[in-house]
Structure 1
Amino acid sequence: MAYLAPTEFVTKMIDAGEAKIFMSTRDTVIRAYMAGAILAIAAVFAVTVTVQTGSGILGAVLFPVGFCMLYLLGFDLLTGVFTLAPLALIDKRPGVTLGGVLRNWGLVFLGNFAGALTVALMMAICFTYGFSQAPDAVGQKIGHIGEGRTLGYAAHGAAGMLTLFIRGVLCNWMVSTGVVGAMMSTSVSGKVIAMWMPVMLFFAMAFEHSVVNMFLFPSGLMLGGNFSIMDYLIWNEIPTVLGNLVGGLAFVGLTLYSTHVRTGASRAKVGAAQIAGE
């Protein structure tokens, strides 16, 4: 599958992060908008499969089709830029600043949210025949997801908030591994296989993905979910974003960078250098 060595694909990660920081506002927002929209459609697809078959694992197996599509098209998710953009700063690429990283994150967040919200409105219309009747089975399922993953956490107080944050960490550990997977191969089939596996895992285990939630929760509110906008922001979106940031950067970006770019010297090499110095 034209596999690239770790040192090669980690260098591609840094290059990609640098390119995203210097990308124009127009391109950044368009790419983020389309990523949010495509991932939202994939979430609808996965929930529909789950409702129709009664099998959650089948929905999880099929969900990564959206993730693969958006990355093959060169679009950007917030979870991905959380991992890639800081590497260009850490690697001290010329002209890269913390402000540039934060600008990229902010624009991608806005674009992802706008794309996901667009699909949420479109699907709410489809589920209710233009809000003329109660939502169908899939719409009802999405509404209940929003309740369980806001009020469900709130019912446990601080322990629920910790659980939510950790699920956000675990989610982007897997999703960012999928982002890296797109860079491991130069063939479409190799990219798809490498992306599919970790993304399927995150969805099957109900980890918290900030961009998927940008669709699920606004859609749930439109479909009569019994929770508020503040419940969504405080008891899901904000902690999920923070968890996604920690998971992607700490467990994927920094670990790969530290061992495949800033590699440590082996004891044998250190000993040889000392002998040569003597």
Structure 2
Amino acid sequence: AVLSPAEVYRATLEGAAYKVAAPLPKLVLMGIASGMYIGLGFSTCALVGGNLSPEFRKAQPGAFAALYSLIGFPLGLVLIVFCGGDLFTGDCFSSLVAAMEGKISVLAGLRLLIVSYWSNLVGCLLMVGLFDGGAIYPGRDHYLIHLAEAKCSLGWGVVVVRGILANMLVCLAVWLATAARDAGGKIVGIYLPIMSFTSIGLEHSIANMFIVPMGMVQGADVSVGRWIYANQIPATIGNWIGGAIMVGLLSAGIFGSPGARAWAAWERGVAGTRQRLRECTSADRRRSVGNVQ
């Protein structure tokens, strides 16, 4: 059994209200934990699928993308959902719809986004330190370095659009996980969109908080300034648009009270237009009859 889309929408509102009401230290810890989970998930796929040979990656890009996305990265969101984390990209969706529905204030939604973003960063950087301290990547870092450099070599517009698509899939993964009522269903619901996101090669601002700094530690030719300007800022903008507008605004229009009010106004407008047309038609007929007489 699964929740209906309307029930998922209502559960999203309740989740946002719960986070806003949580004490700040708890919210920070939830965000830090989520950043750590993202680092664990990415490292799993980078150290397994990413260590397929560069020759194979170039000769069989489709097969490489499939193998790379199959292993590891969905783990990050699975841990966040099952362990009760707070991820910025999911908050882009939930904070907007909760504010539109009056469940939280706009300022409370903005606070949620700011706290989750910076606490996610702390969690990601903590994992960078742990992986570096454990000497996990040396000798197995060729794809990580390639990916960090590639992410910071794209144009702003490209990163923004990839960020939009990335967070559409992430928010839809959370939607499916919320709809499922058992652990297996939640895992499958998360796995499919995140596998799609990873194999396509999109831009997730929180994942990049781990990927690029970890690559820099391993010797990627990227400066902090270049990372922030060329990747982190446009990816964040794209992620907000993807979560808030492409998923949030659409779901509010379909399942929420803002949509219901808009459709009611539309129906009133259509009814009024029909009434005016009938009145105009009747007036024309009366004039025609008068002219004939």
Instruction: Report the TM range for the smaller structure's normalisation.
Output: 0.7 to 0.9
Q: Which of these residues, 69, 81, 87, is aligned with residue 71 of structure 1?
A: 81
1:83 aligns with 2:83: no
* Offset at residue 109 of structure 1 (A): 0.9
Aligned 8 A contact 1:168 1:243 in 2: yes
Q: Map of 1:16-165 to 2, 5 A cutoff? A: 16-54=15-53, 55-62=64-71, 63-93=73-103, 96-127=104-135, 135-137=138-140, 139-150=141-152, 152-153=153-154, 160-165=155-160
Q: TM-score, normalised by structure 1?
A: 0.86
CA distance in 2, matches of 1:52, 1:122: 20
1:224-277: CA deviation from partner (whole Å, max 9, x where unpaired) = 11110001000001110110000011111111121112343597xx98xx9xxx
* Offset at residue 123 of structure 1 (A): 1.3
Letter in 2 for 1:76: D
Aligned 8 A contact 2:51 2:142 in 1: no
User: How many positions carry a matched residue from both structures?
Assistant: 255
1:84-124: CA deviation from partner (whole Å, max 9, x where unpaired) = 0121110012xx22211111111111111111101111112
Aligned 8 A contact 1:21 1:85 in 2: no
Structure 1: 5+ residue stretches without partners: 130-134, 154-159
Aligned 8 A contact 1:20 1:104 in 2: yes
Report the equivalent of 2:246.
251
The structure with the greater share of residues assigned to helix is: 2
Aligned 8 A contact 1:182 1:194 in 2: yes
Query: What is the Cα-based RMSD across aligned positions, in Å?
Result: 2.0
* Offset at residue 161 of structure 1 (A): 0.9
CA distance in 2, matches of 1:171, 1:52: 23
CA distance in 1, matches of 2:158, 2:91: 24
Aligned 8 A contact 2:93 2:248 in 1: yes
CA distance in 1, matches of 2:236, 2:109: 15
Cα 1:183/1:229, change in 2 over 3 Å: same
Cα 1:51/1:259, change in 2 over 3 Å: closer
Q: Secondary structure at the match of 2:134?
A: helix
* Offset at residue 75 of structure 1 (A): 0.6
**Structure with max Cα Rg:** 2
Aligned 8 A contact 2:51 2:143 in 1: no
CA distance in 1, matches of 2:236, 2:149: 19
Report the equivalent of 1:190.
185
Report the equivalent of 1:157.
none
* Offset at residue 128 of structure 1 (A): 6.6
CA distance in 1, matches of 2:252, 2:41: 31
Q: Secondary structure at the match of 1:183?
A: helix
Report the equivalent of 1:239.
234
CA distance in 1, matches of 2:37, 2:142: 21
Identity %: 24
CA distance in 2, matches of 1:206, 1:88: 30
CA distance in 1, matches of 2:215, 2:81: 26
Structure 2: 5+ residue stretches without partners: 54-63, 275-293
Q: Secondary structure at the match of 2:179?
A: coil
Letter in 1 for 2:131: M
Letter in 2 for 1:58: L
